[in-house]
A and B are shown apart, each in its own frame.
Chain A
Amino acid sequence: MSGLLQKSVEKGALGSISSVSSTATSYQGPAMKFELVGKCSKSKARAATMKLPHGTVETPMFMPVGTQASLKGLTYEQLKDLGCKICLNNTYHLGLKPGQETLDTVGGAHKLQGWNGNILTDSGGFQMVSLLKLATITEEGVNFLSPHDGSPMLLTPEHSMSLQNSIGSDIMMQLDDVVATLTTGPRVEEAMHRSIRWLDRCIKSHKNPDTQNLFAIIQGGLDLDLRRQCCAEMAARDTPGIAIGGLSGGEDKESYCRVVSLCTDLLPANKPRYCMGVGYAEDLVVSVALGADLFDCVYPTRTARFGNAITRFGNLNLRSRKYMDDFSPVEEGCGCPICKPKSEGGLGITRSFIFHLAAKETAGAHLLTLHNVYYQLELMRRARRAILQDSYPDFVKQFFHDLYNGDREKYPSWAITALKTVNIDL
């Protein structure tokens, strides 16, 4: 293991050797300082501060997705007011528009967007698979047809790194070989091994290790043995953080929880763990209990545009006529700018008004986007507070109680099972 690490350091792709000597509760890399500040005494839930080049992020943290360099319809003032410290951009989309050349000219995505918080970028590989049916994967990289002119193109780990270097994201992801989660058989193993080889290529071609953190991605489908192997290999490469990938693709929740729990057991405790593409409130709460720190999903913003509000008491489809004359706030007691009554400095928006705007005026979507993003951020803030007070199990219980109106019969069995493994009995 140390041999591998030594090799990487020689390549100059990683941070200073001091990272090795860091204690088990903190990690100091050239572009990140990660420090555990609290741990649940029962479950694996943990709270940490993560100092990144563009400010400190307190975990557990949900990161909203600004696919094409803007969070759907919001301005960065609004995003800051919600307390957001880090958001996502998609490498694939930014590579197409505005394009690498533009990003290089203007000096990166932070500058372009006027956003001085942190940015995390994916590798672009996921979009290859999700958007482009004709993508084929070879050892060299992902072959796909350009959506613009249909010409064949190739995304290699080197190209992905180069793009992410141009974007200048604070956290960048390795290119991994993504297979649909439900795939079984040798293809999964092949993808796992290839992802490891691609990580090495990514590390080698990463130009700015002093200002940008490269995260590895654990693959291996739902096969726990493959995941084990992958965790060991990836951890050995000593990237500043590690993501658990290849999930949230239609697998059953039990398997999801098993994989996450296994990975958090094996991964170094002093580094952030990022559950990619996880976004439902229940998944967040359970995954935090299983030891994950970072999450991202388009769900809160996308569902807002369909007129859906995420609330503590369940989701509301505000396009339904039953909300036409419902003059209560979207979520009673919510502290977001739209739900807070006017007397407390909020907007005092009602369900009726959202119904009136939903799917007709974009301002309706903006309002719900504000609410939903706030909800996700606040959920994680509350989780963090609970962890720091060592009352996370109570928080989890209250969360499910609110969500299902106290009806234990309705609690999802996967959540009960998963939480039991970390000593939380719903």
Chain B
Amino acid sequence: MTSDSMASSSFQTIKAASSSTSLARIGALKVRSNSSPVRTPTFLCPTSRGVIPHLSPDNVVKCETTASVGALISVEDFMEKAPQQNSALLKYPGPTRDLFSFPSKFGLALSHRRPVPVPSPQANFDDKVSVMTPEGFKYMTVDMYSEFITKFEPDMVFSIPDIPNLSPGGKPGNNRAQKMLKRTEKWLDELLEQRSKHTTGFEIFAPILPGLAAEFQSNYLQKIKSDARITGISLWNAQAARLSERQAELAKKRDVAKHSGASLDGEAAISTVTSYVKALHEDVSRLAVAYNSGLETPHEVLDLVNSGVDLFVATGINDFTDAGVALDFTFPASEEHPDFGFNLWDPKYATDMTNFGRANRDTVPNTYYRAYVHHLLNAREMTSWVLLQMHNIAVFNRFFEGIQKSIENGTFEQEREKFVKVYGTSEEVQVFRDLYKKKDSVPTVRGYHISYESEVIRRGEGSTQRLNDPPFKKYKEDASQN
């Protein structure tokens, strides 16, 4: 079995986009660990330090993940303190993935950074990129990444893009843009080279560079298109675009002069994605399109599916879980159950003894009530987030199944419109999600999982506050507040 023949059959379009307004399509992605090809659109569960947040591996097995291709592991989570020392996990005698005790049928994707990375102040080099380790910023050499790939035996690998560290709203100059292309191409070549020697084989996703027009990277895109060893492309940019909008807002509020010209033209991230996808696979159906910058709401998933994206990193699940929301939406949207979800912080659930979500009824074997999860949130008990996470993964799982069905039936576009009509817009559900969000209402925040946006905004506001409130106060301090 040559690697080439494997790669060429790893992704297949089952139902191509047929509408002039929608690029939504059905595909089948075959990776080594999954026993049968996974239908796309599909999603990866994001992990933190090798675990799906809040879930011990025995609970992962209990999660409903039939529509998921697996989990995304970020190598920066495993970098150690001493610069010369590679991660101890690399010394593990078997494949590193066994350490994490993931279900054996779970596909693992490897990325150099987390889907929502902490912005790094350091510049990249020809042979290394700046990453955030749990102990601070550090360089990861491309060689080290390949060492991790060898040890992990992943199913999918995201090749490293060279994304420059720009000032807010900035765009790379011509020289920098050339360099971005050159490095990204070189790192991709090295990965392809490594794969040819690799015994188990893995699917390669080639990055599309954010911030550069599709025409600018057309040679590079052409190369990806024609190289049968590449399974798909990965898109990295929308997060940055969204952030720029927020920054521009902030800059306006604070100090216009300091950030003059900071605002991007507000160009919607989604339309950028569309342009890339169009440039690439209008006529090419063999490339899977991955969007690995994380996403906040199911609405974004729908928009991106409509733009032709096949594979997602469902970071939104964590956001809803941490905010105390038990999701309840379905796709197609149900008018009988118009609740997007239940924000279980809401005091009205204090004595609500109904099961906390419809999906929960058959995914979590025990009966857990809204009143219970409300109480656990109130008491800051970790079990609340465990239960919510398992439930919300199930809701997302069914959401993706619903998307696949509707594309198959040719009803995706109208269902997408109805979704917004029934559940409200993406902004509205984010407001709903954050209704009770306070510093002490979310799980303890670590330096490595503070979101890109909130970190930039925190710094922008000159905040020197700690990420978390101290767990205990002196008795008198407490009393004086009362």
Using CB atoms and an 8 Å cutoff, list the residues of chain A in contact with chain B.
68-78, 93, 97-98, 102, 105-107, 111-114, 133, 145, 147, 149-150, 324-325, 327, 337-338, 342, 347-350, 352-353, 356-357, 360-367, 370
Q: Does B119 lie at the interface of the complex (its beta carbon under 8 Å from any beta carbon of A)?
A: no
A78 touches B49 (CB 8 A): no
B446 proximity list for chain A (CB < 8 A): 360
Minimum C-beta distance from A251 to chain B (A): 26
A366 proximity list for chain B (CB < 8 A): 56, 59, 382, 386
Q: Which of B383-401 contact A (CB under 8 A)?
A: 383-387
Q: Does B376 lie at the interface of the complex (its beta carbon under 8 Å from any beta carbon of A)?
A: yes
Nearest A-chain residue to B371, judged by Cβ: A106
Jot down 22 A-B pairs with beta carbons below 8 A, ordered by A. A68-B379, A68-B381, A70-B382, A70-B384, A73-B383, A78-B59, A97-B375, A105-B351, A111-B353, A325-B89, A327-B99, A347-B56, A349-B101, A350-B99, A352-B92, A352-B99, A353-B100, A362-B53, A362-B54, A363-B57, A366-B59, A370-B58
A327 proximity list for chain B (CB < 8 A): 91-93, 99
B101 touches A347 (CB 8 A): yes
A98 touches B350 (CB 8 A): yes
A150 proximity list for chain B (CB < 8 A): 479, 482
Q: A73-B386, A77-B62 are in contact. List 14 more A-B contacts (CB 8 A).
A: A74-B383, A77-B365, A78-B59, A93-B379, A102-B371, A114-B369, A133-B475, A327-B99, A350-B99, A353-B99, A362-B54, A362-B385, A362-B443, A363-B54
- Which one of B53, B478, B482 lies within 8 Å of A361 (CB-CB)? B53
B376 touches A69 (CB 8 A): yes
Which of the listed residues A113, A133, A349 has the most CB atoms from chain B within 10 Å of its own CB?
A113
A347 touches B57 (CB 8 A): yes
Beta-carbon contacts of B354-370 to A below 8 Å, as 1s and 0s?
A: 00000000001111110
Q: Does B456 lie at the interface of the complex (its beta carbon under 8 Å from any beta carbon of A)?
A: no
Minimum C-beta distance from A337 to chain B (A): 6
Minimum C-beta distance from A306 to chain B (A): 13
Decide yes or no: A114 and B368 within 8 Å by CB, A73-B382, A342-B101 being known contacts: yes
CA A353 to CA B101, docked complex, whole Å: 10
Number of B residues near A (Cβ < 8 Å) is 55
Using CB atoms and an 8 Å cutoff, list the residues of chain B in contact with chain A.
48-59, 62, 78, 80, 88-89, 91-93, 98-101, 134, 350-351, 353, 364-369, 371-372, 374-376, 378-379, 381-387, 443-444, 446, 475, 478-479, 482
A361 touches B49 (CB 8 A): yes
B482 touches A149 (CB 8 A): yes
B376 proximity list for chain A (CB < 8 A): 68-70
Decide yes or no: A72 and B383 within 8 Å by CB, A98-B375, A325-B88, A362-B443 being known contacts: yes
CA A75 to CA B372, docked complex, whole Å: 12
A112 touches B369 (CB 8 A): yes
CA A364 to CA B50, docked complex, whole Å: 10
Nearest A-chain residue to B479, judged by Cβ: A150
Minimum C-beta distance from B357 to chain A (A): 14
Nearest B-chain residue to A148, judged by Cβ: B482
A347 proximity list for chain B (CB < 8 A): 56-58, 101
CA A362 to CA B99, docked complex, whole Å: 17
CA A338 to CA B59, docked complex, whole Å: 12
Nearest B-chain residue to A68, judged by Cβ: B379
Minimum C-beta distance from B83 to chain A (A): 16
CA A325 to CA B475, docked complex, whole Å: 42
CA A72 to CA B382, docked complex, whole Å: 6
A356 touches B89 (CB 8 A): yes
A353 proximity list for chain B (CB < 8 A): 50, 99-101
B368 touches A361 (CB 8 A): no
B381 proximity list for chain A (CB < 8 A): 68-70, 72-73
CA A227 to CA B386, docked complex, whole Å: 45
A76 proximity list for chain B (CB < 8 A): 366
A367 proximity list for chain B (CB < 8 A): 56-57
- Which one of B57, B80, B93, B366 lies within 8 Å of A77 (CB-CB)? B366
Nearest A-chain residue to B99, judged by Cβ: A353
B387 proximity list for chain A (CB < 8 A): 75
Decide yes or no: A360 and B482 within 8 Å by CB, A68-B379, A106-B371, A337-B58 being known contacts: no
A114 touches B372 (CB 8 A): yes
CA A93 to CA B56, docked complex, whole Å: 26
CA A326 to CA B471, docked complex, whole Å: 31
CA A343 to CA B55, docked complex, whole Å: 21
Minimum C-beta distance from A105 to chain B (A): 4
Nearest B-chain residue to A73, judged by Cβ: B382
B88 touches A324 (CB 8 A): yes
Decide yes or no: A112 and B372 within 8 Å by CB, A75-B366, A352-B89 being known contacts: yes
Minimum C-beta distance from A130 to chain B (A): 13
B88 touches A114 (CB 8 A): no
Decide yes or no: A360 and B49 within 8 Å by CB, A73-B386, A78-B58, A325-B88 being known contacts: yes
CA A347 to CA B51, docked complex, whole Å: 13
Minimum C-beta distance from B60 to chain A (A): 9
CA A362 to CA B381, docked complex, whole Å: 11
A98 touches B88 (CB 8 A): no
CA A342 to CA B104, docked complex, whole Å: 10
B59 proximity list for chain A (CB < 8 A): 75, 78, 366
Nearest A-chain residue to B387, judged by Cβ: A75
CA A68 to CA B373, docked complex, whole Å: 12
CA A106 to CA B370, docked complex, whole Å: 11
Instruction: Give 10 closest A-B pairs by Cβ, nearest first.
Output: A73-B382, A70-B383, A325-B88, A150-B482, A68-B379, A363-B51, A324-B88, A105-B351, A366-B56, A98-B375
CA A145 to CA B386, docked complex, whole Å: 33
- Which one of A75, A149, A337, A349 lies within 8 Å of B383 (CB-CB)? A75
A348 proximity list for chain B (CB < 8 A): 98, 101
- Which one of B100, B350, B366 lies within 8 Å of A102 (CB-CB)? B350
CA A347 to CA B374, docked complex, whole Å: 31
CA A336 to CA B54, docked complex, whole Å: 20
CA A320 to CA B475, docked complex, whole Å: 32
B50 proximity list for chain A (CB < 8 A): 353, 356-357
Nearest A-chain residue to B353, judged by Cβ: A106
B378 touches A97 (CB 8 A): yes
B383 touches A362 (CB 8 A): no
B91 proximity list for chain A (CB < 8 A): 325, 327
CA A111 to CA B375, docked complex, whole Å: 13
Minimum C-beta distance from B62 to chain A (A): 8
Decide yes or no: A106 and B479 within 8 Å by CB, A352-B88, A363-B56, A366-B386 being known contacts: no
Minimum C-beta distance from B317 to chain A (A): 15
B386 proximity list for chain A (CB < 8 A): 73-75, 366
